[in-house]
């Protein structure tokens, strides 16, 4: 406990203020301020000491310098073309350099520290990262190169978009042929590059949830929502945590919000039905399960729950309650 001074000769005691660097980053972004994406990603990865941040900065220097050497080697006779004339050339060269340096790239890593270490590992079989992790790495190195990069996401998948003058180019970092790719559907929405932080927080929440650290997972999902209030997947995942602690009202609110933001999020439809089933709202739950099955007839859990809800609603002998015990809400990465 620290002692502060209120006035001349008048001392009082005050409790120390808990400092959360992630909350500070989120608040700065919400207020429209500018933050270093590179530093923010390292902080969310758990690196807060300046010495550690500098250490990972030097590792990124190594990756960036390797790219610069690779790019320069494409022009052995003379200097590369002028920088302003080579935006797409440099962007493609960076993409190809990262893939050539570590062809086995795709894994579940979302934290930038794990992605950097995986990329620099001499082990050729050590993967690097998930779509979130690989997009984070391409973004921070690309921003060092002055590339105008934004984020494209449909809630469960992310990729980059490069813009130069009136031209754009989509960059799918999980595919070695993903430079200048077409979007798979129209559900992708463009966000500022800094919104990758929300996806990292959501991914970290999933890791903590799998480790049964539900309180920490809920905090991560909430931070992701604070950073991007339109992030339907994070609402769905937070609803799952609230479901697991039997806070069904709050879970249903989160699932409903997820569907408002992402109407195509099938797991949120299933989750709404599951929580209504536990609340005794069997007819409403039946509608949700039928909706899921009209889209995905092979959804086993929805079929089990539909049969259970239908049996209760009709007053028939229901499917044994024990069959519902292992069922948990669906999640989205």
Asked, for residue 177, whether it belongs to a domain, the answer is yes
pLDDT of residue 9: 43
Asked, for residue 228, whether it belongs to a domain, the answer is no
pLDDT of residue 80: 62
pLDDT of residue 85 exceeding 60, the answer is: no
Largest CA distance in the chain: 83
198-234 per-position pLDDT tens digit: 999 999 999 999 999 999 999 999 999 999 999 999 9
Cα–Cα distance measured from residue 159 to residue 294, given in angstroms and rounded to the nearest whole number: 30
288-321 per-position pLDDT tens digit: 999 999 999 999 999 999 998 888 878 764 555 5
Q: Assign 3-class secondary structure to 51-106.
A: HHHHHHHHHHHHHHHHHHHHHHCCCCCCCCCCHHHCHHHHHHHHHHHHHHHCCCCE
Residue that is written with structure tokens 């009709």 in the block:
314
Do 269 and 178 fall into the same domain? no
Asked, for residue 240, whether it belongs to a domain, the answer is no
DSSP alpha helix (H) spans, the chain: 21-30, 37-44, 50-72, 87-101, 112-120, 131-144, 196-210, 214-227, 232-244, 248-261, 266-278, 282-295, 300-314
| Enclosing domain of residue 87 | 21-26+33-197
pLDDT of residue 16 exceeding 90, the answer is: no
Asked, for residue 65, whether it belongs to a domain, the answer is yes
pLDDT of residue 241 exceeding 90, the answer is: yes
pLDDT of residue 11 exceeding 70, the answer is: no
Averaged pLDDT, 65-84: 78
Asked, for residue 176, whether it belongs to a domain, the answer is yes
Query: How many domains does one find in the chain?
Result: 2
120-178 per-position pLDDT tens digit: 999 988 999 999 999 999 999 999 999 999 999 998 899 999 999 889 999 999 999 99
297's CB contacts (< 8 A; 6+ apart) are: none
pLDDT of residue 194 exceeding 80, the answer is: yes
């Amino acid at each position: 406990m620290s002692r502060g001074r209120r006035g001349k000769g008048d001392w009082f005691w005050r409790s120390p203020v808990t400092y959360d660097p992630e909350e500070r980053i989120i608040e700065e972004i919400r207020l429209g301020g500018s933050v270093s994406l590179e530093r923010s990603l390292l902080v969310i990865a758990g690196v807060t000491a300046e010495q550690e941040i500098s250490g990972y900065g030097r590792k990124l220097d190594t990756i960036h310098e390797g790219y610069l050497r690779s790019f320069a080697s494409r022009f052995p006779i003379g200097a590369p073309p002028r920088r302003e004339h080579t935006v797409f050339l440099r962007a493609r060269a960076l993409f190809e350099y990262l893939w050539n340096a570590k062809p086995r790239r795709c894994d579940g890593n979302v934290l930038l520290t794990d992605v950097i270490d995986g990329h620099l590992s001499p082990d050729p079989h050590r993967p690097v990262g998930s779509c979130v992790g690989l997009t984070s790495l391409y973004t921070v190195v690309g921003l060092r190169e002055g590339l105008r990069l934004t984020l494209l996401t449909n809630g469960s998948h992310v990729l980059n978009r490069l813009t130069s003058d009136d031209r754009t180019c989509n960059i799918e970092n999980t595919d070695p042929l993903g430079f200048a790719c077409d979007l798979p559907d129209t559900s992708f929405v463009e966000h500022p590059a800094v919104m990758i932080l929300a996806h990292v927080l959501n991914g970290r929440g999933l890791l903590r949830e799998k480790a049964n650290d539900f309180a920490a997972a809920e905090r991560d999902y909430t931070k992701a929502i604070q950073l991007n209030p339109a992030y339907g997947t994070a609402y769905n995942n937070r609803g799952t945590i609230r479901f697991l602690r039997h806070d069904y009202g709050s879970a249903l609110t989160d699932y409903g919000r997820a569907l408002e933001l992402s109407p195509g999020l099938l797991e949120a439809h299933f989750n709404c039905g599951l929580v209504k089933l536990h609340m005794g709202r069997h007819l409403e739950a039946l509608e949700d399960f039928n909706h899921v099955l009209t889209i995905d007839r092979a959804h086993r859990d929805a079929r089990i729950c539909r049969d259970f809800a239908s049996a209760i609603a009709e007053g028939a002998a229901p499917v044994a309650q024990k069959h519902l015990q292992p069922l948990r809400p669906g999640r989205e990465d």
